[in-house]
Amino acid sequence: MRIVVRKNKTVFLGLFFCSLIIAFLTPYILPERYFNDTVIIIFDKGKEIGWLGSYPFAIMFYKLTGLRHLSFFLIALIQFPIVTCILFKIGIPVNLHKLNVKNILVYIAFLLLGLYMSMPTKEFITFLMFSTIPFIFQSDRKASFKITFSLFLIACFSFFRPYYLLMPIFSVGMYALSFVKFENKSMSTIFYGILIAVFLSLSHGIIKGEYISKKTRENYVVENANKNNINTAIVSPFSQDTWYGETFGIFYGFMAVNIPVLEGIKHILSPQVIIFMLWQLLLFYILFVRFSKCLKNRNYYQFELWTLLLLFSFFIVQGIFEPDLGTSIRHKIGLFPLLYFALYYEDFRKDVQQST
């Protein structure tokens, strides 16, 4: 019997093996600073192990699974096939083998996935958590249940990273705002989503005495930029001690991690930064175009719309908290199941039951 292997599956397997090789080589090619988190997770010198918080839970996870005692080669051999298998279960796009901008972005994401899954990392845990959302949307439950349960589940993920609690809040807020008749609905929805973030940060400042982005990103960068060798630190040109400085800082942070043209100019002589900048710019543009399309036909694309709302909510959250470009890219790879589902929604649509 003749066995026919589809081109898209061939490319998917090719990406798997190429990225797995990169995963094996990562410990030998990346600078030492890329393993700062890994060192904390493996050795736990600060005795942070616990169940709440990204570092405590990651330390506990790798201790209980025994993965922290394995070589990086074996960790890559375990973690990367797991995440690839999850993507395979979500689905393989029909036209994955065709060379176009969207597919090239995904090819690069696969390679990045190989890099980050080659070591004990918080992004492996993040990937596992957020991979549940596409499967929920592909289930045969009623639409209202799938959306509500997904938002609730992401709120529960805040035990790992507290700022995940903001994603459902921003998503619901932007969804409500999308019903307002704006001239440019997609851009206005995101803009007012950022304003929601500003309002929450200023409210926190009034109640607690310090604005959120000032407390997290700016203070962290000032204290750790030299010590951790952060080459692409995101620092607002204005101090975030005032309400207007914090407002500008959040908008600046959103632009820096999602439309990083200015950051690219600052690091024009760093090829890796330019590549990441182009990857991020093109990714944001494609998602923004799809967001505009979904808003025009929200009933037909209701699950892709909610996936995109969650993604743009995360992008807004990154604008508040991310200290540098490298960290922002790594955190986006943790949410790759959502990105993958949003980019190829038409291919997976046959598996999404639009129940009512």
Report residue 228's pLDDT band, with 50, 70 and 90 as the boundaries.
low
In angstroms, what CA-CA distances link 56 with 50, 75, 202? 4, 19, 29
Crossing angle of helices 325-334 and 302-321, in 10° steps, is 150
Q: Residue 122: name the closest of 91, 90, 164 by CA.
A: 164
pTM score of the predicted model: 0.92
- DSSP-assigned letters across all residues of 199-216: HHHHHHHHHHSS-HHIII
136-191 pLDDT, tens digit per residue, is 999 989 999 999 999 999 999 999 999 999 999 999 999 999 998 888 899 999 99
User: 236 falls in which pLDDT band (50, 70, 90)?
Assistant: confident
Spell out a b/e string for 230-247, using b for 16 or more CB atoms within 10 Å of the CB, else e: bebbbbbeeebeeeebbb
Q: What is the pLDDT of residue 225?
A: 61
Is residue 355's pLDDT more than 70?
Answer: no
pLDDT band, residue 230 (cuts 50/70/90): low
In single-letter form, the type of residue at position 117 comes to M
Q: Using alpha carbons only, what angle is made at residue 63 by residues 60 and 64, rounded to the nearest 5 degrees?
A: 85
**Average pLDDT across the chain, whole number:** 89
| 232 SS3 class | coil
Residues above pLDDT 90, as percent of the chain = 66
Q: For residue 218, is pLDDT > 80?
A: no
State the pLDDT confidence band at 71, using cuts at 50, 70 and 90: very high
